[in-house]
Amino acid sequence: QKEVEQNSGPLSVPEGAIASLNCTYSDRGSQSFFWYRQYSGKSPELIMSIYSNGDKEDGRFTAQLNKASQYVSLLIRDSQPSDSATYLCAVNMAAGNQFYFGTGTSLTVIP
Amino acid sequence: NAGVMQNPRHLVRRRGQEARLRCSPMKGHSHVYWYRQLPEEGLKFMVYLQKENIIDESGMPKERFSAEFPKEGPSILRIQQVVRGDSAAYFCASSPRRGNNEQFFGPGTRLTVL
């Protein structure tokens, strides 16, 4: 089992819709969770961090964390074509210094 | 620009040569992480450093790869005797402190081994 798993997609949504991206992780003791956006040929850009169970909202983005289910998600409201990118989930495992990244979900927002 | 800086942005080497990748963290950040990303794959952790210390190099190949973060100057990832399989994007990230904190990425160095 991989440390962090994401559906690779591609995920396509129409402009203005809600995009839902999901991520599961293996280490139950993990404490920190992050979502990054990566455009093709560019470096990852931090979107959200979340540390506690529940929802965290920042503009059009909402991160949701459920530690009991070892599940973290990212919702993008009012999706725009500029949101088209690969979204990476990252987890800081409890035991060490490493941040484990999922392979990413490719999102396409259709105008 | 106070962001993470990496150079060179593109590096071409022939098999057997050495590659040196440099990373200057964000101002005020003393923790540096190096990652490798192969096409269609996720980011793979390589090494975590603080000034003058390697904290965790569990993701680093045992041979040919080394990293340092001297008291003065940038962090350097060094790959000796490069092979074609080393071709990848190498990203550096920095954070102000270890553990539960956000990492900010540099633009990366694209290494191509001919």
Strand, helix or coil for residue A58: strand
**Residue ranges for chain B with pLDDT beneath 70:** 1, 98-100
Indicate the average pLDDT of chain B.
92
Contacts of A4 in chain B (CB under 8 A): 42
pLDDT at A95: 61
Residue A41 has pLDDT above 80, yes or no: yes
DSSP state of A16: T
Give the residue numbers in A contacting B (CB under 8 Å), as ranges: 4, 31-32, 34, 36, 42-46, 49, 51, 88, 90, 92, 96-104
CA distances from B75 to A103, A104, B34, B91 (A): 26, 27, 9, 12
Strand, helix or coil for residue B15: coil
